[in-house]
């Protein structure tokens, strides 16, 4: 790499380059980057010098550890770093009766110690890609063909293309470490070219500003930023790269945690909360009545959750709490208790669920649990009236809707349960005191905020309701810190007693599958019920509906002859869905063939078998949710995962479900398998930049970043004494969020 030319203007003034300055400089300011290269970099999402410096290597090739060609034996599988000396495209041959032979590209390559042939079949484009002079890494097995040593269709990683200027520092013989950068097919870039651009940027930047107080650097043994940037892009040994990654990953996590902690603060500062009445000196509260009248004894974990929430509700600040609890842990009880605290003080409560089936079920269940309970009403003779629970979905009739809206405004409706329909403008409350959102992963942050905002009302004169969001898709603690870092967290750690783990079998062979259907017949014969989940099919809801109906007919004519089979899918009218669910609950149907509409929350204690067809099409979390539909009573239950797939990923997923019924453990497997992207999902859009941080392996780092963020914001809530941190944070969040976090 060329040393910095003293005549080059530095990228900015002052002691150390600020990220903000680097973010404002287009990559084309680099001498090596012409307009063509700038265009190609842009296709990688690299527009500014900061983008370039945070376009981190995907991995490294250790030039000191590569196998010299001369020492490889036939049959060895290895990586070879070599240069292309000759490219040959033999004319296609015509075999007798077999048509044209596949297109072939043959290369002669050498690494200084020796040479070999590299042959590609059906990859004609390799001739252009691997022109003479190209340096690349070839990974494959060395074979012998007509006395020549060769690799056929090896994996290729290009380090320098033939057209690149020769850079003596980058020859394979030098034994240094080569960064391999993420590239796209579209852009004609190589890792070596990116290395060169990065080197120029590093040389010209010289030193980077250090936003992290030295105290934290020492405490967590973090490198300084200048060293970290240099070692991650041009290490001298591979061992150097990990400490560099840790430092830069820490920065990412710190920015994210700062944003979350600041957001938590701002919400509190702006809040107009309600101090709820959580106890009476001489009377039983609604919550106490409710708990006493339950047909079961709440678990210790449920009690703990309710106590924590009551303490939140009694305080002046509105609660923002996430309740995590595995499938079947009994979150509904906690939700109802929360809403009742609001009702106790004359306020209203709202519960929002992601599907109609679930909203209807909650409505039916909550109405049953609260039957006979009364609230004070001076306008009546007795001085009280029955507590009123109402349901609102998109299918609620116009008439019912009008009277419901009126009841919400005059306070005659105490609890409102429903779907997204709750968010419509016409829904206005007299005084919304508490909001619960069930299965929150189905809702966006905006929807959560929209329901909360109903507390202030159209004129903004109202107050902020307390908020509880619930999820049965557990995520590991550190991941939760990243995704839900602006919420307080409570976990229900135990299941109600007497639950027997659902026996789970992966049915791979026709014999296994027959055993699954035999189990369905047997369980139905002894008075139980079964779910069958149909394969996900490509296409519209309508296509999916057709497939459910056909599968039900097929089963009725074959494996499940004589059983009473119902179907449930998203295309059905509400009334029909309700009828089917009611029939299934009451035992007028034995088997429910359904789409994943039954995934969330459906609660039928007599259902003891779940058969999931083409189970490899579903993710771990979804399978766990589906399985959670059985095993809700005290009877033994079974889950059959039907799949003939032999893909390694399907194997990991389905075996994990066979092995474990613990949602947290499964969440860990899922995270390992799919990485953080899926967890972060929409919630992180436009937010911070986790390029290096890994939620699976960087758990300590997440905790450390959280600790630092809390301390820093605690002592300096506007980040006034940490101008660099505040400036860097703004680079990575959008303007709206910055305005919210940093308003004076
Ligand atoms: P989830 O946490 O998945 O939403 P639910 O609230 O639907 O779970 O509860 C699952 C089932 O367990 C319901 O039938 C509920 O009535 C029952 N249940 C809840 N708490 C208890 C308890 N403490 N003891 C026994 N059964 C309970
Ligand atoms: Mg639930």
* Residue 334 CA, closest ligand 1 atom number: 6
User: Whose structure tokens read 């392996």?
Assistant: 697
Ligand 1 close to Cβ of residue 639 (< 6 A): no
Ligand 1 close to Cβ of residue 333 (< 6 A): yes
Instruction: Give the distance (Å) from ligand 2 centre to CA of residue 335.
Output: 9
Q: Are 131 and 161 in contact (CB under 8 A)?
A: yes
* Residue 329 CA, closest ligand 1 atom number: 2
For strands 432-437 and 466-471, give the pairing: parallel
Residue to mutate, 294, 367, 474, 496, ligand 1, most ligand atoms under 8 Å from C-beta? 496
Q: Which pair of structure tokens corresponds to residue 400?
A: 């019912």
> What integer pLDDT is reported at residue 248 of this predicted model?
96
Return the ligand number nearest the Cα of 327. Answer: 1
Read off the pLDDT of residues 160-171 as tens digits, 9 standing for 90 and up. 777 665 554 444
| Residue 507 β-bridge partners | 642
Ligand 1 close to Cβ of residue 496 (< 6 A): yes
Q: Which pair of structure tokens corresponds to residue 509?
A: 């062979």
Q: Are 27 and 41 in contact (CB under 8 A)?
A: yes
Ligand 1 close to Cβ of residue 629 (< 6 A): no
Full DSSP string of 111-174: -SS-EEEEEEES-TTHHHHT-TT-EEEEEEE-EEETTEEEEES-EEEEEE-TTSPP-GGG-GGG
d(CA 386, CA 180): 69
Buried b (16+ CB within 10 A) or exposed e, 601-622: bbbbebbbbbbbbbbbebebbb
d(CA 566, CA 598): 13
Question: Which one-letter DSSP state was computed for residue 26?
Answer: B
Full DSSP string of 463-513: -PPEEEEEESS---HHHHHHHSTTSEEEEE--PPTT--PPEEEEE-SHHHH
Return the ligand number nearest the Cα of 326. Answer: 1
Ligand 1 close to Cβ of residue 354 (< 6 A): no
Q: How far is CA 426 from CA 342, 422, 452, in A?
A: 22, 9, 15
CA 91 vs. chain centroid, Å, equals: 50
| Residue 60 β-bridge partners | 179
Read off the pLDDT of residues 279-306 as tens digits, 9 standing for 90 and up. 888 788 999 999 999 999 999 999 999 9
- Minimal-distance CA residue to ligand 1 atom 17: 330
pTM of the model: 0.76
| Residue 375 β-bridge partners | 385
Ligand 1 close to Cβ of residue 327 (< 6 A): yes
Instruction: Give the distance (Å) from ligand 1 centre to CA of residue 424.
Output: 30
Residue to mutate, 328, 368, 602, ligand 1, most ligand atoms under 8 Å from C-beta? 328
d(CA 44, CA 187): 8
> What integer pLDDT is reported at residue 520 of this predicted model?
97
Residues of the chain with pLDDT under 50: 1-14, 168-174, 682-688
Q: Which pair of structure tokens corresponds to residue 87?
A: 């490219």
Q: Are 235 and 60 in contact (CB under 8 A)?
A: yes
> What integer pLDDT is reported at residue 14 of this predicted model?
47
720 Cβ contact list (under 8 Å, min separation 6): 726
Helix (H, G, I), strand (E, B) or coil at 204: helix
Q: Are 357 and 598 in contact (CB under 8 A)?
A: yes
* 3-state DSSP percent of the chain in helix, strand and coil, to 5: 40, 20, 40
Ligand 1 close to Cβ of residue 332 (< 6 A): yes
Instruction: Give the distance (Å) from ligand 1 centre to CA of residue 654.
Output: 26
* Residue 333 CA, closest ligand 1 atom number: 6
Q: Are 341 and 313 in contact (CB under 8 A)?
A: yes
Ligand 1 close to Cβ of residue 472 (< 6 A): yes
Ligand 1 close to Cβ of residue 328 (< 6 A): yes
Q: Which pair of structure tokens corresponds to residue 103?
A: 């297109």
> What integer pLDDT is reported at residue 519 of this predicted model?
97
d(CA 389, CA 417): 7
Ligand 1 close to Cβ of residue 602 (< 6 A): no
Ligand 1 close to Cβ of residue 306 (< 6 A): no
Return the ligand number nearest the Cα of 625. Answer: 1
Return the ligand number nearest the Cα of 497. Answer: 1
355 Cβ contact list (under 8 Å, min separation 6): 419, 442, 597, 600, 601
Q: Which domains does the chain have, with CATH numbers?
A: 1-58+181-209 (1.10.150), 66-166 (2.40.50.140), 286-492 (3.40.50.300), 503-671 (3.40.50.300)
Ligand 1 close to Cβ of residue 632 (< 6 A): yes
d(CA 348, CA 259): 32
d(CA 687, CA 55): 17
> What integer pLDDT is reported at residue 415 of this predicted model?
98
Ligand 1 close to Cβ of residue 331 (< 6 A): yes
User: Whose structure tokens read 């074959």?
Assistant: 558
Alpha-carbon torsion 582, 584, 589, 592, what sign? positive
Instruction: Give the distance (Å) from ligand 1 centre to CA of residue 325.
Output: 11
Instruction: Give the distance (Å) from ligand 2 centre to CA of residue 628.
Output: 10
Angle at CA of residue 26, ends 23 and 28, nearest 5°: 150
Q: Where are the alpha helices (H) located in 234-322, listed in sequence order?
A: 241-270, 286-293, 300-314
Ligand 1 close to Cβ of residue 520 (< 6 A): no
The helix (run of H) or strand (run of E) holding residue 665 is helix 663-674
Question: Which one-letter DSSP state was computed for residue 577?
Answer: H
């Amino acid at each position: 790499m060329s040393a910095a030319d003293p005549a080059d203007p530095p990228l900015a003034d002052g002691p150390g380059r600020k990220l903000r300055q680097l973010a404002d400089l287009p990559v084309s300011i680099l001498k090596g980057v012409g307009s063509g290269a700038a265009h190609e970099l842009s296709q990688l999402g690299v527009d500014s010098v900061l983008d370039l410096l945070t376009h981190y290597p995907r991995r490294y090739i250790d030039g000191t550890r590569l196998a010299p060609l001369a020492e490889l034996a036939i049959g060895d599988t290895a990586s070879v770093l070599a240069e292309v000396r000759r490219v040959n495209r033999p004319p296609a041959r015509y075999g007798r009766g077999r048509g044209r032979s596949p297109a072939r590209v043959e290369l002669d390559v050498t690494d200084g110690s020796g040479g070999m042939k590299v042959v590609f079949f059906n990859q004609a484009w390799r001739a252009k890609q691997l022109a003479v002079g190209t340096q690349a890494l070839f990974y494959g097995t060395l074979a012998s063909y007509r006395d020549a040593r060769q690799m056929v269709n090896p994996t290729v990683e290009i380090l320098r293309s033939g057209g690149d200027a020769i850079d003596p520092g980058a020859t394979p013989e030098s034994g240094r470490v080569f960064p391999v950068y993420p590239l796209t097919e579209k852009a004609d870039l190589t890792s070596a070219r990116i290395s060169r651009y990065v080197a120029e940027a590093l040389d010209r930047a010289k030193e980077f500003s250090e936003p992290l107080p030295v105290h934290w650097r020492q405490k967590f043994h973090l490198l300084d930023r200048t060293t970290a940037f240099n070692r991650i892009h041009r290490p001298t040994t591979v061992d150097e790269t990990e400490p560099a990654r840790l430092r830069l990953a820490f920065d990412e996590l710190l920015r994210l945690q700062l944003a979350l902690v600041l957001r938590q603060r701002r919400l509190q500062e702006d809040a107009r909360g309600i101090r709820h009445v959580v106890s009476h000196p001489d009377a039983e509260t609604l919550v106490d009545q409710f708990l006493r009248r339950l047909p079961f004894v709440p678990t210790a974990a449920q009690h703990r959750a309710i106590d924590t929430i009551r303490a939140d509700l009694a305080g002046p600040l509105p609660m923002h709490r996430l309740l995590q609890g595995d499938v079947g842990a009994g979150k509904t009880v906690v939700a109802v208790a929360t809403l009742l605290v609001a009702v106790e003080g004359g306020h209203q409560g709202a519960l929002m669920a992601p599907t109609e089936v679930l909203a209807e079920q909650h409505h039916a269940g909550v109405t049953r649990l609260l039957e006979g309970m009364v609230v004070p009403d001076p306008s009546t003779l007795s001085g009280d009236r029955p507590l009123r629970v109402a349901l609102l979905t998109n299918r609620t009739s116009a008439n019912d809707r009008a009277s419901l809206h009126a009841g919400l405004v005059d306070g005659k409706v105490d609890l409102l349960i429903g779907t997204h329909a709750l968010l419509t403008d016409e829904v206005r409350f007299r005084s919304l005191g508490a909001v619960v959102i069930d299965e929150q992963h189905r809702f966006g942050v905006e929807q959560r905020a929209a329901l909360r905002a109903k507390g202030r009302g159209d004129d903004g004169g109202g107050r902020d309701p307390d908020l509880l969001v619930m999820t049965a898709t557990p995520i590991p603690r550190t991941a939760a810190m990243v995704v839900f870092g602006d919420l307080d967290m409570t976990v229900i750690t135990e299941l109600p007693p007497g639950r027997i783990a659902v026996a789970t079998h992966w049915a791979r062979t026709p014999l296994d599958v027959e055993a699954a259907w035999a189990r369905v017949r047997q369980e139905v014969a002894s008075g139980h019920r079964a779910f069958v989940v149909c394969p996900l099919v490509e296409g519209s809801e309508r296509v999916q509906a057709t497939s459910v109906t056909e599968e039900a007919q097929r089963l009725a004519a074959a494996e499940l002859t004589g059983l009473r089979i119902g179907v449930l899918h998203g295309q059905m009218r509400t009334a029909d869905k309700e009828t089917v669910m009611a029939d299934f609950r009451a035992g007028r149907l034995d088997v429910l063939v359904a789409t994943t509409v039954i995934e969330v929350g459906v609660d039928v204690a007599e259902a003891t078998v779940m058969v999931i067809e083409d189970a490899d099409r579903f993710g771990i979390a979804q399978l766990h949710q589906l399985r959670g539909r059985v095993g809700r009573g005290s009877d033994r239950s079974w889950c059959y995962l039907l799949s003939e797939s032999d893909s390694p990923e399907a194997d990991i997923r389905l075996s994990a479900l066979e092995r474990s019924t613990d949602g947290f453990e499964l969440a860990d497997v899922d995270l390992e398998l799919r990485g953080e992207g899926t967890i972060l999902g929409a919630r992180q859009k436009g937010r911070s930049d986790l390029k290096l941080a890994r939620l699976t392996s960087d758990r300590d780092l997440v905790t450390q970043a959280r600790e630092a963020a809390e301390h820093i914001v605690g002592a300096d809530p506007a980040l006034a004494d940490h101008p660099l941190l505040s400036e860097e944070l703004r680079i990575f969040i959008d303007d709206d969020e910055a305005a919210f976090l940093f308003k004076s």
